[in-house]
Amino acid sequence: MHKSLSFDDVLLEPKYSDIGSRSEIDIGNHLSETAYLELPVISSPMDTVTEDEMAWTIYEEGGLGVLHRYNTIEEQITLVNKRPGLKAAAIGVTGDYEERAYALFDAGINYLCLDVAHGHHVLVKTALAKLRNSFGDKIHLMAGNVATLKAFNDLADWGADSIRVGIGGGSICSTRINTGHGVPTFQSIHDCSYSDRDAKLIADGGIKNSGDIVKALAAGADFVMLGSMLAGTDESPGEIFTSGNKKYKVYRGMASRSAQMDWRGQSSSPEGISTTIPYKGSAADILRDIAGNVRSGFSYTGTRDLREFQSKATFLSQTPAGQLESSTHILRK
Ligand code: IMP
Catalytic-labelled residue, pool 48, 50, 57, 175 = 175
Best of 172, 208, 273 for a ligand 1 pocket test (most atoms within 8 Å of beta carbon): 172
pLDDT, tens digit, 9 for 90 and up, residues 269-306: 999 999 999 999 999 999 999 999 999 999 999 999 99
State how far the Cα of 307 lies from the Cα of 29, in Å rounded to an integer. 9
pLDDT tens-place string over residues 103-133: 999 999 999 999 999 999 999 999 999 999 9
Q: pLDDT tens for residues 247-277?
A: 999 999 999 999 999 999 999 999 999 999 9
Give the DSSP H/E element, type plus range, for residue 237: none
CB 77 within 8 A of CB 52: no
Q: Give the position, in ligand 1's atom list, of the atom nearest the Cα of 44.
A: 10
User: Edge-to-edge, what's the strand order for the sheet holding 241-243?
Assistant: 241-243, 246-252, 274-278
For position 214, what pLDDT does the model report? 98
Across 79-117, b (16+ Cβ under 10 Å) vs e yields bbeebeebbbbbbbbeeebeebbebbbebebbbbbbbbb
What is the reported pTM?
A: 0.98
pLDDT at 85: 87
Spatial distance between the Cα atoms of 178 and 255, rounded to a whole number of angstroms = 12
- pLDDT value at residue 333: 80
Say yes or no: CB of residue 232 within 6 Å of ligand 1.
no
pLDDT at 27 over 90: yes
- Residue 331's pLDDT is what? 87
Instruction: Give every CB contact of residue 139 below 8 A, 6+ residues apart in sequence.
Output: 105, 109, 110, 111, 112, 131
CA 230 to chain centre: 11
pLDDT, mean over the chain: 97
Q: Per-residue pLDDT averaged across 43-53, rounded?
A: 98
Concerning whether 275 is annotated as a catalytic residue, the answer is no
Query: 166-181: per-residue pLDDT in tens?
Result: 999 999 999 999 999 9
Q: Is the CB of 45 under 6 A from ligand 1?
A: no
Active site residue 175: yes
